[in-house]
């Protein structure tokens, strides 16, 4: 593994950091001790690290295969979770590439990392040595660890593998590796708090139906792209479950509510006023459409249009606020540049651009949607 760290090979990697990788793979490695596949793996890793976890852009860091890079959390989402957790003893039972473990474990005195892939664990151990971070590294199946373990931990963290043996993506807890439903009781027997990272596509109602120990759900987006759903389990009796929707790197405030509040919330409806409110995608994932209307004193346009409106600007809204005016389709001039938004409307953005011969981008928006009176077009001003 450490052969890739030879200064000459590292210089070759730096020189080819922007090279066309398919073409590079067709070449023979200039170094007999490493393959071109290993070189390209490091180039891919550095490229991913630039955007996803820049703290690993240090001399001596080794990157794993692509599949491990894909499932690894970003530095931003890992830091968000790290701010929520602290204690004496932390364990990550599915350490993977260790991005979450490195960030989450900062506020703990004792750190244990379990990983079934021994090669990947060696990579993590090497990188943690470079970063100056200590831990106990255990290579093996987490089921074996849980069977033999007698320790108690303040926090248990898991990021289950979301691909089956056929390499297809899976989402249900019983299809993940490990099967969370099979081990949840054992986890809660050795920790008062279990934190599990899940796919952003997981259904919240399904989670609540199969995991009675949930006391908190966080829906984490970065720049309006929902990246993960994180659930918190506790062995203590939970009378209510809170949900926190966050949109990192947006400057928007988090939106927190109690599961069940949506069922009792009521929305009022109105035609578009001066301002249009577009909730961020973390809130759309949560499905708290009436609660948003009620909490921020906004009117909805339509039961199936999750846009809101008011004549006076309401601050601290977790999403975009646009000053708008209604326009007719005949007034849309061709060849103009707009960001197109289509919600609860028969035409998709690309179809709208083609129909009206519009260019994409610019500072202004055209919003194609519906109010209770029918289809409408709004333009930002």
Clarify whether residues 247 and 119 are in a common domain: yes
Query: Element (H or E) spanning 130, and its range?
Result: helix 118-131
Residue 96 has pLDDT above 60, yes or no: yes
Same domain? 248 vs 289: no
Q: Would you say residue 161 has pLDDT above 90?
A: no
d(CA 226, CA 48) in angstroms, rounded, equals: 18
Q: How confident is the model at residue 101 (pLDDT cuts 50, 70, 90)?
A: very high
Q: Tell me what pLDDT residue 53 has.
A: 96
- Is pLDDT at 139 greater than 80 in this prediction? yes
Task: Give pLDDT tens digits for 115-129.
Answer: 999 999 999 999 999
CA-to-CA distance for 22 and 26, rounded, in angstroms? 7
How many CB atoms within 10 Å of residue 167?
7
367 and 281 share a domain? yes
Residue 163 belongs to some domain of the structure: yes
Cβ–Cβ < 8 Å for 215, 188: no
Question: Of 253, 264, 319, which is closest to residue 291 (Cα–Cα)?
Answer: 264
Which tokens is 199 given?
């796919």
Sheet holding 275-279, edge to edge: 299-302, 305-310, 275-279, 319-327, 374-380, 359-371, 337-342
Q: Mark whether 292 and 359 lie in a shared domain.
A: yes
pLDDT confidence of residue 200: 94
Are 125 and 233 contained in the same domain?
A: yes
- Report yes or no on 148 lying in a domain: yes
> In angstroms, rounded to a whole number, what is the distance separating the alpha carbons of residues 140 and 130?
23
- Do 225 and 275 reside in the same domain of the chain? no
Task: Find the radius of gyration of the CA atoms of the chain.
Answer: 24
> The pTM is what?
0.93
Taking only the tens place, the pLDDT of each residue in 263-304 is 999 999 999 999 999 999 999 999 999 999 999 999 999 999
Strands 225-233 and 194-198, bridge-based pairing: antiparallel
Indicate the residue among 16, 42, 63 that finishes a domain: 63
Residue 372: band (very low, low, confident or very high) from pLDDT cuts 50, 70, 90:
very high
Question: What CATH number does residue 181 fall under?
Answer: 3.40.50.150
Q: What is the four-CA torsion angle of 144, 146, 148, 153, rounded to 10 degrees?
A: 140
42, 63, 84: which is the final residue of a domain?
63
User: Does residue 68 lie in a domain region?
Assistant: no
Number of domains in the chain: 3
Structure tokens at 31: 């170094």
Question: Whole-angstrom Cα distance, residue 148 to residue 327?
Answer: 68
Final residue before a domain boundary, out of 223, 239, 258 = 258
User: What pLDDT is stored for residue 164 in this prediction?
Assistant: 61
Tell me the per-residue pLDDT of 14-51, one tens digit each, with 9 for 90 and over: 999 999 999 999 999 999 999 999 999 999 999 999 99
Q: What is the pLDDT of residue 71?
A: 86
Instruction: Supply the mean pLDDT for the chain.
Output: 94
Indicate if 85 and 142 belong to the same structural domain: yes
* Beta bridge partner(s), residue 220: 228, 246
Would 311 be classed as within a structural domain?
A: yes
- Based on the fold, state whether residues 228 and 284 are members of the same structural domain: no
Answer yes or no: are the C-beta atoms of 287 and 260 closer than 8 Å: no
Q: What average pLDDT score do residues 229-256 get?
A: 95
Is 103 among the domain residues? yes
**Is 320 strand, coil or helix?**
strand
> Does residue 278 sit in the same domain as residue 315?
yes
CA distance 192 to 187: 9
Neighbour count for residue 27 (Cβ, 10 Å) = 12
**At residue 371, does pLDDT exceed 60?**
yes
Range of the structural domain that residue 349 is part of: 267-380
If asked whether residues 184 and 242 sit together in one domain, one would say: yes
Q: How many residues does the chain have?
A: 381
pLDDT value at 207 more than 60 = yes
In a domain, 321, yes or no: yes
Q: Is the pLDDT of residue 380 over 60?
A: yes
The verdict on 38 and 154 lying in the same domain is no
Distance of CA 327 to the CA centre of its chain: 36
167 — pLDDT class (breaks 50, 70, 90): low
Residues 252 and 312 in one domain: no
Residue 70 lies in a domain: no
């Amino acid at each position: 593994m450490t052969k890739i760290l030879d200064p000459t090979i590292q210089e070759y990697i730096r020189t080819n950091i922007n090279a066309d990788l398919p073409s590079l793979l067709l070449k023979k490695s200039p170094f007999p001790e490493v393959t071109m596949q290993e070189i390209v793996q490091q180039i891919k890793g550095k490229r991913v690290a630039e955007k996803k976890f820049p703290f690993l852009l240090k001399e001596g860091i080794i990157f794993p295969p692509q599949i491990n890079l894909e499932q690894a959390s970003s530095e931003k989402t890992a830091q968000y979770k790290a701010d929520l957790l602290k204690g004496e003893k932390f364990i990550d039972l599915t350490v993977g590439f260790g991005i979450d473990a490195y960030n989450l474990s900062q506020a703990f005195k004792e750190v244990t990392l379990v990983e079934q892939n021994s090669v990947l664990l060696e990579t993590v151990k090497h990188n943690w040595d470079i970063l100056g971070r200590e831990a106990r590294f255990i290579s093996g199946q987490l089921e074996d660890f849980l069977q033999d373990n007698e320790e108690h931990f303040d926090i248990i963290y898991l990021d289950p593998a979301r691909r089956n043996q056929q390499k297809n993506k899976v989402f249900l807890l019983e299809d993940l590796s490990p099967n969370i439903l099979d081990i949840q009781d054992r986890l809660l027997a050795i920790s008062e708090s279990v934190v599990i990272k899940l796919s952003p596509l997981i259904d919240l109602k399904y989670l609540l139906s199969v995991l009675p120990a949930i006391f908190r759900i966080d829906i984490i987006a970065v720049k309006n792209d929902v990246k993960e759903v994180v659930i918190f389990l506790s062995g203590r009796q939970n009378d209510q479950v809170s949900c926190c929707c966050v949109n990192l790197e947006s400057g928007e405030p988090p939106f927190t509510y109690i599961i069940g509040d949506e069922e009792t919330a009521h929305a009022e409806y109105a035609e578009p006023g001066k301002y249009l409110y577009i909730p961020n995608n973390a809130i759309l994932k949560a499905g708290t459409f009436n609660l948003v209307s009620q909490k921020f004193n906004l009117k909805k346009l339509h039961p199936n249009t999750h846009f809101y409106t008011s004549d006076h600007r309401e601050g601290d809204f977790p999403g975009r606020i646009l000053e708008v005016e209604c326009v007719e389709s005949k007034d849309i001039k061709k060849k103009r540049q707009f960001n197109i938004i289509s919600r609860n409307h028969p035409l998709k953005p690309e179809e709208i651009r083609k129909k009206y011969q519009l260019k994409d981008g610019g500072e202004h928006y055209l919003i194609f949607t519906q109010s209770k009176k029918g289809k409408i077009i709004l333009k930002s001003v």
